Amino acid sequence: MIKVLVPFDFSETANFAFEFAISLAENYNQLEINLLHVVETPVATGMGTMGGGLDAIPDFENQVFFMELIKTRKIQFKEIEEKHKNSSINLKTNLVIGNVYRNIVDVIQEKNPDLVIMGSKGSSGLEEVLIGSNTEKVVRTAACPVITIKSETHVNNMKKVVFASDFRDSDDEVASRIRRMQTLFDAQFYFVLVNTPGNFETTRESFARIKTYVQKHKLENIKAEIYNSLSEETGILEFADDIDADLIAMTTHGRTGFLHLITGSIAEDVVNHSKRPVWTFKR
């Protein structure tokens, strides 16, 4: 049984992620979907409307709203369960109370899913620099692969998959993940290496490294591509645009804290800015 976790906040992009998971389940009957909704613990303060600064929200108002929200979410989950109870979809729902990111991470550690599928709107400006979205943070820390979805996507439409890498890391686990993706998606796989001014090498050197990677891991049906751009992120996104790719696949280093703030992550930047689904795996 392949276990798929779908964090679900009832937004449009969350519905896109859920529908994509359903399309996977329709193609592979050994797949179990776990739909997770986190009700955020209410904040106890709010901005005063009469110029009084921070005023405490009366406890009873907070509690009434909170309980009504939980009741509504339970009803919505019940409706989803009823909708799919007579289908072939193996669906489970889970409603928890707490912090969205923290609870998603806890469920990933507890349930050990094979795949996480999340909707994402991306983030920009100060939020992107200092905080990032919950999706980005899950991409950074999840031990299992994560697919981020931003628009309506169906597994049967996955015909072109881009795997972007420098192909210097010969991790057997990453190669194994690629083979599993090839079994999931009946797609042409493009292995692309982005050549930048700050990290330039000849086309011959780049092709040789991709060839060595493919031969070492005995991968088949691969197209090797070299793409010149000003940055890795821009090159990956532009190449995906040029061939009208259906999915971008990448590894992420999983750094956190100060090191992540300084170095950033190409994979997280691509997740944030790509209009296409992105498959990531922490190496």
Neighbouring-strand partners of residue 190: 162, 223
Torsion angle of the four alpha carbons 48, 49, 50, 56, in this order, in degrees rounded to the nearest 10: -30
pLDDT value of residue 254: 53
**DSSP character for 217?**
T
232-257 per-position pLDDT tens digit: 999 999 999 999 999 999 988 655 44
**Whole-number Å distance between alpha carbons of 140 and 146:** 10
Mean pLDDT by runs of 10 across the 283 residues of the chain is: 92 94 88 93 50 46 81 94 89 92 93 93 46 75 92 91 89 88 89 92 94 93 95 95 96 55 66 92 81
pTM of the model: 0.84
**Secondary structure letter of residue 221 according to DSSP:** S
- Enter the tokens of residue 247: 């999915």
Element (DSSP H or E) covering residue 115 = strand 115-119
pLDDT for residue 240: 97
Please state, as a whole number, how many other Cβ atoms lie within 10 Å of the Cβ of residue 11: 12
Model pLDDT, residue 171: 77
Query: Would you state the pLDDT for residue 228?
Result: 95
- Taking residue 15's Cβ as centre, other Cβ atoms within 10 Å add up to 15
Q: Pull the structure tokens for residue 48.
A: 């005063």
CA distance 283 to 141: 10
Q: What element of type H or E holds 38?
A: strand 31-40
**Amino acid letter for position 226:** I
Please work out, in degrees rounded to the nearest 5, the angle formed at the alpha carbon of residue 262 by the alpha carbons of 257 and 267.
Answer: 85
**What's the pLDDT tens digit per position in 66-77?**
888 899 999 999
Q: What token pair was written down for 114? A: 């094979």
